[in-house]
């Protein structure tokens, strides 16, 4: 397919990797964070770390919304799912995310009406087809996904669907990056900026990272060549002492974002004063709630939720891994108590989580070689 095949061209990939090897300063260590879980997945899937010189370290960031969701929010959602009148809908990976009393899939096995959807629009359709039931969509995700939830709520309002509501867990990427930058043990030299979040918010909002923190940012696509080009652009900035926002993914990411999507977000959502992130703690103004005008479609208003708080297990070192202080396999629990089958920490929960991706691709390879 056009725009995909050419970004997997082995000759171009080799050429870019060679250029990276040529331009790096040998006595310098480059620590680059890819913020987005999709980039983490691509890096492992295509084995990109092996194409890079040893002094370029890729650090995996907080960009997996499933991983950063506090267990208490899952418990609140599952409390709604347990109600007999409710059809509880969510994306596929949410189905495996454990609350204290099990996952949505396990709830389904016990008789709850839990259904997987690909789009919140599918959940709305389910509501119109089941007027005697309450359909709840468990919304989760960054600015990539929030527009589809916003669009669904706008449609629910215009169609006057009153048996549909959203349990909103949408989070914002920029406050999370700022929290990492403000952390005293932060040691990141530059950022690979999220590609698809940026199709919505644009490249401009990242300028504070360059201006206030002096760190370069390159917005990147997801194919191997995209990521290598972005790493090369970052290395060149660092070598030249520049800190700018550059857009490697300009074929998709407009500098000012997607205006209709941003308008829909502004119409439907307000920013919460604070929200808890697994591994990072409470971050102010880092998540979205439904505006009061949409209270009729807000599951947190419609159903009384317990407001559960669950403390992260102390032994898990998710916070250090998220901030790039520790590689996944150096956490005390990695691969022993904490595995993708039995995740203890946040980053093992979804396949996009830094620890789960590391476990599947690197750990499996190492143990196979033993």
Partner 1 sequence: MSEGAKEGSSKAPSQVGESHSLAPRCVTCQDEAVPVTVLELHADAQALVENGSGQRALVAIDFTPEARVGDILLVHSGVAIARLDEERS
Position among 98, 120, 224, 340 found at the interface with partner 1 (CB under 8 A): 120
Report the residue number, 33 or 94, with the smaller CB distance to partner 1: 94
CB nearer to partner 1: pick between 29 and 45: 45
Residue 142 within binding range of partner 1, rule CB under 8 A: yes
* 36 near partner 1, rule: CB under 8 A: yes
- Residue 56 or 124: the one with the smaller Cβ distance to partner 1 is 124
Question: Is residue 2 within the footprint of partner 1 (CB under 8 A)?
Answer: yes
- Regarding 113 and contact with partner 1 (CB under 8 A), the answer is no
The contacts of residue 185 (CB under 8 Å, 6+ apart) are: 320, 323, 325
* Out of 94, 203, 235, 322, the residue judged to bind partner 1 by CB under 8 A: 94
Q: What is the contact mask toward partner 1 in residues 222 to 261, using x (rule: CB under 8 A)?
A: x---------------------------xxxxx---x-xx
65 binds partner 1 (CB under 8 A): yes
Examine residue 347 and tell whether it contacts partner 1 (CB under 8 A): no
Q: Does 147 bind partner 1 (CB under 8 A)?
A: yes
Nearest CA to 289 among 269, 309, 273?
269
Q: What is the largest CA-CA distance in the chain?
A: 67
Q: Collapsing DSSP states into helix, strand and coil, what is residue 62? A: strand
* CA atoms within 13 Å, Cβ hemisphere of 78: 23
Name which position in 75, 78, 350, 358 contacts partner 1 (CB under 8 A): 350
Helices (H), the chain: 10-23, 37-45, 65-68, 71-81, 104-109, 120-129, 146-158, 173-182, 195-201, 207-213, 224-239, 259-268, 299-302, 318-322, 354-358, 364-369
Among positions 287-346, residues that touch partner 1 (CB under 8 A) are none
Distances (CA, A) of 20 to 6, 16, 28, 41: 19, 6, 13, 21
Strands 288-290 and 269-271: antiparallel
Residues 355 and 364: their CA atoms lie apart, in Å, by 12
Check residue 8 for interaction with partner 1 (CB under 8 A). Answer: no
Tell me the C-alpha distance between 168 and 5, whole Å. Answer: 37
Q: How many residues bind partner 1 (CB under 8 A)?
A: 51
Q: Is 130 in the site for partner 1 (CB under 8 A)?
A: no
Residue 169 as a binder of partner 1 (CB under 8 A): the answer is no
Q: Does 195 bind partner 1 (CB under 8 A)?
A: yes
Per CB under 8 A, the list member of 75, 93, 113, 312 interacting with partner 1 is 93
**Burial code of 340-351, b = ≥16 C-beta within 10 A, e = fewer?**
beebbbbbbbbb
Nearer to partner 1, 243 or 261 (CB): 261
């Amino acid at each position: 397919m056009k725009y995909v095949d050419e970004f997997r061209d082995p000759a171009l990939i080799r050429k870019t990797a060679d250029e990276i090897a040529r331009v790096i300063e040998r006595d310098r260590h480059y620590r680059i964070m890819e913020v987005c879980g999709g980039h983490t997945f691509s890096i492992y899937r295509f084995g990109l770390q092996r194409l890079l010189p040893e002094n370029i370290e890729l650090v995996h960031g907080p960009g997996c919304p499933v991983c950063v969701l506090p267990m208490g929010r899952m418990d609140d959602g599952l409390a709604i799912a347990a109600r007999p009148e409710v059809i509880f809908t969510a994306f596929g990976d949410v189905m495996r995310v454990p609350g204290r009393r099990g996952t949505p899939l396990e709830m389904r096995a016990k008789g709850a009406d839990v259904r997987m959807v690909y789009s919140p629009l599918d959940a709305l359709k389910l509501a119109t087809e089941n007027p005697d039931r309450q359909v709840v969509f468990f919304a989760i995700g960054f600015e990539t996904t929030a527009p589809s939830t916003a669009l669904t709520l706008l449609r629910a309002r215009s169609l006057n669907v009153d048996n549909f509501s959203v349990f909103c867990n949408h989070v914002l990427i920029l406050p999370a990056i700022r929290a990492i930058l403000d952390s005293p043990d932060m040691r990141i030299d530059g950022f690979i900026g999220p590609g698809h979040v940026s199709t919505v918010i644009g490249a401009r909002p990242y300028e504070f990272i360059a201006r206030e923190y002096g760190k370069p940012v390159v917005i990147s696509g997801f194919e191997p060549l995209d990521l290598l080009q972005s790493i090369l652009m970052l290395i060149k900035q660092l070598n030249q002492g520049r800190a700018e926002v550059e857009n490697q993914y300009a074929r998709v990411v407009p500098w000012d974002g997607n205006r209709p999507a941003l308008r829909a977000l502004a119409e439907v959502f307000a920013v919460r004063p604070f929200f808890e992130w697994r591994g990072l703690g409470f971050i102010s103004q880092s998540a979205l709630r439904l505006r009061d005008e949409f209270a009729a479609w807000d599951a947190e208003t419609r159903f009384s939720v317990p407001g559960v708080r669950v403390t992260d297990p102390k032994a898990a070192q998710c916070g250090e891994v998220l901030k790039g202080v520790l590689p996944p396999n150096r956490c005390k629990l990695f691969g022993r108590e904490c595995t993708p089958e039995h995740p203890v920490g946040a980053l093992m929960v979804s396949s996009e989580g830094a620890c789960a991706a590391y476990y599947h691709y690197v750990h499996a390879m190492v143990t196979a070689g033993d």
